[in-house]
Structure 1
Amino acid sequence: VLAFTATGFVVAAFGQALGIDTLVVRNAGAIILCLVGIVLLIPRLQDGLSRIATPAAAWASRQQSALDDRAGLWGQALIGALLGIVWAPCVGPTLGAAVALAAEGKDLGEVALVMAAFGLGISTVLLVIAFAARGALARWRGRMMAAGGRGKIVLGGLLLIVGIFILTGVDRQLEAFLLDHLPDRVTEWSTAF
């Protein structure tokens, strides 16, 4: 949560000074979504990526094990911090809200609070899922593996569609349409958090 908040805060507060163009980041994210979607839709690409990634994953696993042996709990905190930094670009709307607050000259404390609240919210959900799912995962492993194959196709299609929507600007048109046609109470409820 700290690494994610710090990364988002730096981007929001100093992104323009650092030369970070939000449109470039938006388009790069959309292209990555499209590429991941395509890989999830084509099994041959999944196999190729798996062959390429296996040595890197093995190296990362060895490094994590060595870090666990040497640093224990602090090593896990470091791994989590690195994951928080890597994860920061995945939360476009929250990062966008923080960048917008910073661009408007709002209090940077409010920017940090938005990022921290999001990070705490998502990490809490992940912890609840982890504790609740421990026993269920062992019992449902076979069913989950079967559903995973279908889920890859659905997820791949959705990621490809979202990436295309972002690249073409359809996402903003859809957002404007929904804001114009949804009842005010829905908009008020969704922005109250």
Structure 2
Amino acid sequence: MRLNLRALLASCAVAASACGGGETPPSVEPEPHAEDPCAPNGHIHREAEGDWCHCNKGHVAAPQGLACEVDPDYVPSEGFDFGDDGEHACWHVAHGPYVTVTATTSRNPRVDDFHTHYTVKLREENGQYTGTFSYKAFASGDFVVYLSTPDVPVTLVETAIQTQLTPAGTKPTGDFCSGLRHMVGYELTDRVQYTLTLGPTSLPEVGMVIEHLQ
């Protein structure tokens, strides 16, 4: 017996309407990303050891939960104090320990060994020399990048958020050695990873010491 095609189609349409099969499923909007709990006075660091707040100057991490609150003990500094003007750093020029690092495009070599004189070999790029390196702060406070010459631009970026730090001060070193002639001061935070770039410069090699001022 031949089926009545028109009747079959009509019955299928009724069945679909009754079961809701003819309706387009409602779209599900993705949940918005959670806001940074440390903002607006800092930003969050999400790490395997646990999340923590990197708070802006004049603020501290709250004792409970993830938040940045005003530091009641904060006293604004008047200028950057370069301490002994490079006398201790010059001791490492004469006595070491010594490490040589070579810039490359495949990775950022580390330059965060304590009390170490680095010979930094830069890579050639467009007729100049430059290099990018990794530095992780081991304390919070004032740090100084001591360089063998003032003719090398220094750029320091907080790696996680790609924010460039403004130097807190620059100054020639004291007359303690010929191996270090320039100082660039920064205020850094313990456990934070930074990216340090030297150059572009006409110099293929630079002497460098990075110290925490205590």
Under a length normalisation based on structure 1, what TM-score does the superposition of the two structures give? 0.24
Q: TM-score normalised to the size of structure 2? A: 0.22
Please identify which structure carries the higher helix content. Answer: 1
Of structures 1 and 2, the one with the larger relative CO (CA 8 A, separation 6+) is: 1
Q: Flag the structure with larger Rg.
A: 2
1 or 2, which has the higher strand percentage?
2
